[in-house]
Amino acid sequence: MTGKRTMNNYEPVIGLEVHVELNTKSKMFCRCSADYFGKEPNTHTCPVCLGLPGALPYINQSAIEDCIKIGLALNCSVSPISRFERKNYFYPDLSKGYQISQYRWPLCINGQLTLDNGQVIRINRVHQEEDTGKLFHQEGQTLIDFNRSGVPLVEIVTEPDFRDVEAVRDYAKKLQQLFRYLGVSNADMERGDMRLEANVSVRKVKSQKSKVKNTSQNLKVEEELPPYRVELKNINSFRFMVAAIEYEIKRQIEALEKGEKLSQETRGWNGDKKCTYVQRSKEEAHDYRYFPEPDLPELRIEESRVKSLESSMPELPWSKNKRFEEEFKLSTAQAKILTETEELADYFEGLVELGGKEGIDAVKIANYVINQKIGAGTSVEEVLGKIKAKGEGVIGDERELEKLAQEAISENEKAVADYKSGKEAALQVLIGGVMRLSKGKADTSKLKPILEKLLKVVT
């Protein structure tokens, strides 16, 4: 970890923008199939997604509902009225010369997500937009495929609340897990279903004293944001994201220490050289000349529609995690592993339900599934059978263990005397005695307290 001290009293300020491509049947504003991956280039296109003059877009309601579900899961409020706007810029993969996005009136706003470390990350917005086409550079030529043009994208933007890289990783992983639970996307990073952009800046930490004062009185004094930020793009794995952010924090601190002034810019991650590099100086929102999309009506979302979407949502991963801890008495770590995918969680619950009828405890099942790396889909009967076989023959009954312990005590006068004279290690001899008498079947975890209890009354 990049500890505070090694960072020379600087702290990073990080905000995350996550894009996720929805797995809807059709594209955002036309009826072309959105399932473009690996398909013959330029076969999933029409006048709308090619941006031909005069073509009229219409809104994919299914995408809107996915966007709302993501927003609700992240505790956002859903705007009763929102709007699409044109974000104007020129790039060869953008045939229209603008991307239909949301800016001033996003669909979902003001959410939050709690991380494993307890920190609450504020979410500024969850809005709906569309993807661009894709450029391929090969043999000195650039080819373009518009199959991806107009595929629904949802963007989730946090406030600059992260103060360490580990929290960023946890957040990004939680979002990926959420998309999969909701079934709105595969969220595969390598395929580009899910894309991360990290905004990084650093600032001097206020003196320890004033910091303590702020937190202890819970005043939540708004601290000033650094006057610049560096946006990291082209990050297609969690590992690269962490590496890029760590590199950037270090680079920025070094620059500031040298008295350099940092400016707003976009940098990419070079995986080979393991460093970030300038792509362009950052444009401001006004450079895009956002204006309301005149070809689309405003988006009106009835309260009743939100309610019904909410009730159609599955139990969210973090709620499931908590429930598993409480209901099955699992540790936080166990619950986290078992709820990693909805599939594994359901499978585990199936095991517990059937196992319960046979007197097999949920923790025992959890341990077995985790240690043996049992995957969802393995026959439930088989797994329970193995857990039972493993437990069979073990003597766990207290009275039976007491009998064996008593026998071991009377056989080992010397060990008893040693123990009485303060040699704790002599207990091992007695444990060994019980194991011999039980032919190795005594449950050792229960043995020690039983022996200690009996030894108290031996004179």
CA distance 187 to 195: 9
Per CB under 6 A, 154 contacts ligand ADP: no
Nearer to Mg ion, 17 or 130 (CB): 17
Residue type, 151: V
Per CB under 6 A, 226 contacts ligand ADP: yes
Nearer to Mg ion, 41 or 192 (CB): 192
* Residue tagged 């996915």 (tokens): 66
Spatial strand order of the sheet with 152-158 comes to: 77-78, 108-114, 120-130, 152-158, 10-21, 194-204, 230-235, 265-270, 275-281
Take residue 240 and report the two structure tokens written for it: 């690269």
Nearer to ligand ADP, 68 or 157 (CB): 157
Give the binding-site size for Zn ion (rule: CB under 5 A). Answer: 5
* Residue tagged 């994201």 (tokens): 241
Looking at 13, 20, 30, 107, which residue binds Zn ion (CB under 5 A)?
A: 30
Looking at 99, 185, 201, 334, which residue binds ligand ADP (CB under 6 A)?
A: 201
Q: Which does 225 bind (CB under 5 to 8 A by kind): ligand ADP, Zn ion, Mg ion, none?
A: ligand ADP
Looking at 23, 147, 149, 158, which residue binds ligand ADP (CB under 6 A)?
A: 158
Q: Which does 229 bind (CB under 5 to 8 A by kind): Zn ion, ligand ADP, Mg ion, none?
A: ligand ADP
Nearer to ligand ADP, 169 or 441 (CB): 169
Looking at 17, 21, 170, 293, which residue binds ligand ADP (CB under 6 A)?
A: 17
Is residue 104 classed exposed, middle or buried when 0-12, 13-18 and 19+ CB atoms within 10 A define those classes? exposed
Give the binding-site size for ligand ADP (rule: CB under 6 A). Answer: 16
Nearer to Zn ion, 129 or 164 (CB): 129
Per CB under 6 A, 56 contacts ligand ADP: no
- Geometric angle at alpha carbon 256, from 251 and 258, rounded to 5°: 95
Q: Which does 201 bind (CB under 5 to 8 A by kind): Zn ion, ligand ADP, Mg ion, none?
A: ligand ADP
CA distance 156 to 381: 42
Give the binding-site size for Mg ion (rule: CB under 5 A). Answer: 1
Looking at 225, 255, 278, 417, which residue binds ligand ADP (CB under 6 A)?
A: 225
Helix and strand counts by DSSP (H, E) for the chain: 15, 16
> In angstroms, what is the C-alpha Rg of the chain?
30
Q: Which H or E run includes 319? A: helix 317-328
3-state SS record for 333-374: HHHHHHCCCHHHHHHHHHHHHHHHHCCCCHHHHHHHHHHCCC
- Residues 4 to 63 in contact with Mg ion, rule: CB under 5 A: 17
Least CB distance to Zn ion at residue 51 (A): 10
Q: Which residues bind Zn ion (CB under 5 A)?
A: 30, 32, 46, 48-49
